[in-house]
A and B are shown apart, each in its own frame.
Chain A
Amino acid sequence: MLALLVAAAFGVLVYAVTTLDDATKRERHAKAVTAQTLQLEKLVLDLDTGLRGYVLTGKRDLLEPWTSARAALPAKRDAFLDLASTSPGERERARTLVDEIQQYVAGYAEPVVQITETNPAASRTDIVRLEGARELADIRAGFASFLDKENTLAAARTSAAQRRSELAIITAVSGLVASALLIIGFGLYLARSIARPVREVADGAARLAGGDLTTRLDPQPHGVGEVEELTDAFNQMAQRLEASRRELEDQNERLRESERAKSELVSVVAHELRTPLASVIGFTSVLLQRDVTADQRREYLGIIEAQARRLGALVNDFLDVQRLEEGKLSISKELVDMGSVVREQTDLFAGQSPKHLLDVSLPKTPLPVHGDSNRLAQVVANLLSNAIKYSPQGGVVHVEGRRKNGVIRVSVQDEGVGIPKELQREIFGKFVRGHATAAGIEGSGLGLAISRSLVEAHGGSIDFESNGRGSTFWFEIPTATNG
């Protein structure tokens, strides 16, 4: 489009120059016509001068201008006719003029010359003279008129050519100015739609390379398609980079967190193992180094055995916690009757504490769940053991198993010391024992943590209630359908 415009402007300019050139040519031609006319007129005057001299004097040598003019006339006349032929009107006027000259020469001058040769006196009559003067005057008037016409014509042509030329020049210059403006506009458009967006992409890439992954480019509503694609691609790339870095950071944070948890666990485990170990080593040393009575020996050996067993149980609990946290504890999924599990465990615990009465309430129908009977037994045993341990004064422990809204619910209620308010929030955490140690209640502080993990591994949930007198713990596992 722009190229066409520039070409058109240049075309108009060339036209203007051509027109101007044409006008100059016309002017030159008009001048040539004028010169030719004047020469022709002079020739006619020469004719007249020679004729007049000869007629007045009768001297033949005075006829010389006539003779030479007469001889030159045809050539001059033809040249004149040839030149003055640019338009039909001009040709017509030239032809009329030439005809008048012809008329004068053939119809008047030549007869007068012949008359003078034969009868000089006759030719000097007033009639002859007046006739010649009249005809000549006519011719001269014809010349004047012709020249006048010619000048007017030439002037008109020149001014028309000049007007055209001026118009063309104005048009061309306007065209060129418009082209220049268009070129500038196009340049600005290029800068706006390509150069600037590309610069922004480059700057953005530099910021990205500098580590600022939040760098995003503004969309380019004025940008050309490719620039828009570039911007979009850049933003996608930056987004992906940022997302992957965030993912890495999150992963790193999780790793650090798990590392921290692990090292904390190791340190807690070490502490928990050292306490029973202190009893084992201490009492062993006392037995080895001091004199003790037989009763004392039995008592100390009893403590050593109990603490050694506690150590063993602790190690098992730690391993369970570890496997549960790593998701490595295998839970088999067979059909289990929760009622049988509860019955077996209550039978086991019933004989252990003479101070406690176990009140078991189970329906006659089975309580089917999918799960690992050993692990479910571990959970029930843990709740039963807690209920007995945390009600040192003894009392009734209510154990109930029943169906409830698609789940099997097992609850264990004691009449013991309850759980202090400040401990309730973290009771399922690891190594949470409250005042248990001070009260002489043994345990790893891992039982409930393990129980919760096991119940959750069975797709169930575990919770408790404790307000002042005793606690109730329960867990729910989805009922096995059509087992």
Chain B
Amino acid sequence: MSAQPETAAKTVLICEDDANLRTLVRLALGDGYRYYEAPDGTSALELARRIHPNVIVLDLMLPGRSGLDILGELRADDSLAKTPVIVMSAWAHSDEAAVKAGADRFVPKPFDPDELRDAVLAVLEDDGQV
């Protein structure tokens, strides 16, 4: 287990329509974060604008507005444009589209919990937050 940051817990916004996978993301990242969850794109966007999370884990296949759509809005929003976003998807070939739309990392589903944890740590480090 990696050492948890001593400072105030970072906030993670999990945007995923499958409740089991939201639980799994929390388990993968561990207890060192404060979690916010959204089951669809619209509520994810509202939540992000309110809490300004340190990192966003975003599924692409969402009911209503798609993950790519949400990513585009985040990047167009000055206060959220720099927020690291990790895109998760079961779509095999969506990594390119995700990176093009402004994703920092792409994690294919199914994923290994450690892999997701490392990806979150890496983007936080790149962002100078760790």
A binds B: yes
Instruction: Report which A residues bind B (CB closer than 8 A).
Output: 267, 270-272, 274-275, 277-283, 285-286, 289-290, 303, 307, 433-440
**Further pairs besides A307-B20, A433-B63: 19, Cβ < 8 Å:** A270-B92, A272-B90, A278-B24, A278-B109, A278-B111, A279-B18, A282-B24, A282-B28, A282-B110, A282-B111, A282-B112, A282-B113, A286-B113, A289-B113, A290-B113, A437-B17, A437-B18, A438-B39, A438-B63
Inter-subunit contact A285/B63 (CB<8 Å): no
1/0 per residue, CB under 8 A from A, across B88-99: the answer is 001110000000
- Neighbouring A residues of B58 by C-beta, 8 Å: none
- Neighbouring B residues of A434 by C-beta, 8 Å: 63
**24 A-B pairs in the complex with CB atoms less than 8 angstroms apart:** A271-B61, A274-B90, A275-B21, A277-B109, A278-B21, A278-B110, A279-B21, A279-B110, A281-B110, A281-B112, A282-B24, A282-B111, A282-B113, A283-B24, A283-B27, A285-B112, A285-B113, A286-B27, A286-B28, A286-B113, A289-B114, A433-B63, A438-B62, A438-B63
- Neighbouring A residues of B18 by C-beta, 8 Å: 275, 278-279, 437
Q: A270-B92, A274-B109, A280-B110 are in contact. Are A440 and B19 (CB under 8 A)?
A: yes
Interface SS majority for chain A:
helix
| Nearest opposing residue in chain A for B114, CB measure | A289
**In the complex, how many residue pairs between chain A and chain B have their CB atoms under 8 Å apart?**
76
- Neighbouring B residues of A278 by C-beta, 8 Å: 18, 21, 24, 90, 109-111
B64 within 8 A of A: yes
What 3 pairs across the A-B complex have the smallest Cβ distances? A274-B90, A278-B110, A438-B39
Inter-subunit contact B17/A438 (CB<8 Å): yes
- Neighbouring B residues of A436 by C-beta, 8 Å: 63
| Nearest opposing residue in chain A for B30, CB measure | A290
In the complex, how many angstroms separate the beta carbon of B120 from the nearest chain A beta carbon?
15
- Neighbouring B residues of A435 by C-beta, 8 Å: 40, 63-64
In the complex, how many angstroms separate the beta carbon of B13 from the nearest chain A beta carbon?
16
In the complex, how many angstroms separate the beta carbon of A191 from the nearest chain B beta carbon?
67
Within the assembled complex, what's the spacing in Å between the Cα atoms of A126 and B15?
Answer: 177
Q: A286-B113, A437-B17 are in contact. Are A279 and B92 (CB under 8 A)?
A: no
Within the assembled complex, what's the spacing in Å between the Cα atoms of A336 and B111?
Answer: 48
Within the assembled complex, what's the spacing in Å between the Cα atoms of A285 and B28?
Answer: 9
- Neighbouring B residues of A282 by C-beta, 8 Å: 21, 24, 27-28, 110-113
- Neighbouring B residues of A307 by C-beta, 8 Å: 20
In the complex, how many angstroms separate the beta carbon of B102 from the nearest chain A beta carbon?
22
| Nearest opposing residue in chain B for A304, CB measure | B20
| Nearest opposing residue in chain A for B108, CB measure | A274
Within the assembled complex, what's the spacing in Å between the Cα atoms of A281 and B27?
Answer: 13
Within the assembled complex, what's the spacing in Å between the Cα atoms of A371 and B74?
Answer: 54
- Neighbouring A residues of B20 by C-beta, 8 Å: 279, 283, 303, 307
| Nearest opposing residue in chain A for B1, CB measure | A290
Q: A283-B24, A286-B24, A437-B17 are in contact. Are A275 and B111 (CB under 8 A)?
A: no
